Amino acid sequence: MTLRQKLILLSTVSKGLMAAVLLLVLPWAVQTLVLRHTDATLRTELRQVQARIQEVGIEEFLPQGNRPRRTHYDLLQDEFIDLQAAATGARGRDTIGTFARPRQGGLVDFRVLRHHTQFRGRPYTVEIGKSIASIEEVYDLLRRLAAYALVFAVLTTLLFELGVISYLLRPFDYIVERLRAVQGPTLPELPPLHTSTSDFQYLDGSIQQMLAKLQSVFDHERQFIANTSHELLTPISILQSRFENMLRAETLPEDAELQLVTSQKTLQRMTATLRTLLLISRVENNQFARQERVLVREVLAEVAAELEDRIGEEELTVHWEMAGEPVLDPANRTLLFTLFFNLLSNAVKYNQPGGRIDLRGHGEPDGTYRLTIRNTGRPIPAEHLPQVFDRYSRFDEAAAEGYGLGLAVVRSVTQLHGIAIAVTSDAARGTEFVLRLPEPVSGAGRVGAAKAMG
C-alpha cells in the first residue's frame, strides 16, 4: 500500500467515523434543542396570558357553567390554552411534560406547560400546550438539514484532502524518478528539488550526499584500476619486449633460447590473468557503457566461428535449436562476445572428443528469453556447482584444471546485463548453463555498431 493510499484511507475512515457518530448523536441533540425551544415558547405564551388576565380579568378564560371550554388559537388545533379553577391547595411549581390531551375526538400528545396561580384569592391552573406533531415537523426539517450539511462537509473536505495529499506527495515521486535516472557510476546532474516540505528536502539532501559518496567510491576505484593497470602492465611490457629482442639475437645458445620462450610463456599467462582481473573490475565498476542493441544469435555465431578450429579438432558437433530472435537491449556487444566466448570455449574445453554442444533457446511468456548452452563433458561435482562462478574455483583439484577466471567474467557480464544465469551438471545430461535474457527495452539503442575491442 502506498503512502498516498494510506493517507487517503486514513482520511476516509476518520471522516466516516465522525459522520457515524454525528448521525447517532444528531437526532437526540436536535430533539433536545427543539423541545427546549418549545418549552421557552410556552413560557413566553404563559407570560402573555398572565398579562392578558391582569388586563381583562379571569372570567373570559374560565369555562362557562359546567362545560369545559378551551381556547384554541389556530385552526389545526396545534396549540391550546386552558384555565381552570383548581382545588384549593393545588400549588406548586410549573411543570412541563408530554401528555395526551383530547383533540377532535381523539387523544393526541401535547407538550404541556402547567402553571398554578391565584387570582383574587382563588387558585387556578393554567395549561398551555403545543402538539408534538407540530414540533416534530420542525425537528424533521432540522434533522434533514443537519444530515445534508454533514454529507456535504464530509465530501468536500475529503476531496480537498485528496488534492492536498497528492500535492504534498508529489516531491516523493519526483525524488524516485530522479533516483531511477541514476544508472551506473556516472551520475547525472540533478536539478534542485522544489518543495516546501522540509522532510522531502531532508530526504533529497541525504540521497544526494549518498550519491556523491557513491560517486567518489566509483571514482577512486576507477583511478585505482587505471593506476594498477599502468603500474603492472608497464613492467610486463618491458619484460616482454626485452625477451622478444633477446630472442632475435642470432648468437643465442639453444638452451637459453628455450628458457626465454618458457619465460615468455609465463609472462603471457600472467598478462592474460591480469587483463582478465582488470576486465572484471572494470565491468563491476560499470566502466562499460551499454548502448547497443545486440542480436544474440549473431554474437553466438561469431563466437562459434572463432572457435571453429577447436570444435573441429575435438570432433564436436554443435546443435542449434534457437527459436525466435533474442535481442539484448541495451547491451555491450564486446562484453557479450566475451561472455559467450567464455561459455562456449568452456563447453569445448571440458567436452569429450566426439561430444556435442547444444545451443537451445526460446522466448518465455513473460518476455524473457531462455538460452541454454549444454556440453556432454565430464560433470562438475554437485558440491562444486555453487562456486563455479567464483574467482579461481577449481572443480577438479587432481586434474589441476579449473574454470579459473572465465566464469567470474561470465558472472560479472551477466550481472551487468541483468541476465540470470544458473548451472546444472550431471553425468547423464552433461553440464548445462541456463541464461535468462531480460526483455529488451524497445526503442533505445542501435544494432551492433560496436567497434570491437582489440
Which residue among 210, 247, 323, 420 contacts another protein (CB under 8 A)?
247
For 361-405, what is the HEC assignment? EEECCCCCEEEEEEECCCCCCHHHHHHCCCCCECCECCCCECCEC
The contact mask relative to another protein for 382-421 (x = CB under 8 A, - = no) is ----------------------xxx--x------------
Which residue among 29, 217, 272, 422 contacts another protein (CB under 8 A)?
272
Choices 63-71, 167-175, 338-346, 429-437; region in contact with another protein by CB under 8 A: 338-346
Residues with Cβ < 8 Å from 399, sequence gap 6 or more?
A: none
Residue among 339, 286, 348, 342 at smallest CA distance from 317: 348
d(CA 323, CA 316): 22
* Degrees, nearest 5: CA angle 66-71-75: 135
Q: Which of residues 292-321 bind another protein (CB under 8 A)?
A: 305-306, 308-310, 312-313
- Contact between 258 and another protein by CB under 8 A: the answer reads yes
Which residue among 342, 368, 372, 375 contacts another protein (CB under 8 A)?
342
Which residue among 206, 209, 268, 317 contacts another protein (CB under 8 A)?
268
**First CA to last CA across the chain, in angstroms?**
51
Closest contact distance (angstroms) between CB of 12 and another protein is 55
d(CA 429, CA 210): 48
Choices 116-124, 177-185, 208-216, 261-269; region in contact with another protein by CB under 8 A: 261-269
- Contact between 442 and another protein by CB under 8 A: the answer reads no
The site for another protein, by CB under 8 A, has a size of 55
Q: Which is nearer to another protein, 40 or 449 (CB)?
A: 449
Which residue among 261, 323, 420, 444 contacts another protein (CB under 8 A)?
261
- Contact between 291 and another protein by CB under 8 A: the answer reads no
- Contact between 240 and another protein by CB under 8 A: the answer reads yes
* Degrees, nearest 5: CA angle 114-117-120: 155
Which residue among 84, 197, 264, 387 contacts another protein (CB under 8 A)?
264
- Contact between 3 and another protein by CB under 8 A: the answer reads no
d(CA 73, CA 81): 8
User: What pairing do the DSSP bridges indicate for beta strands 420-426 and 71-72?
Assistant: unpaired
Question: CB-side exposure of 322: number of CA atoms within 13 Å?
Answer: 21
Indicate left, alpha or beta for 100 from its phi (over 0: left) and psi (-120 to 50: alpha).
Answer: beta
Choices 125-133, 179-187, 208-216, 253-261; region in contact with another protein by CB under 8 A: 253-261
Strand order in the sheet with 106-119: 71-72, 79-85, 122-131, 106-119, 95-103
What residue ranges bind another protein (CB under 8 A)?
Answer: 226, 229-230, 233-234, 236-242, 244-245, 247-248, 254, 257-258, 261, 264-265, 267-269, 271-273, 275-276, 278-279, 282, 287-289, 305-306, 308-310, 312-313, 338, 341-342, 345, 349, 404-406, 409, 451, 453-454
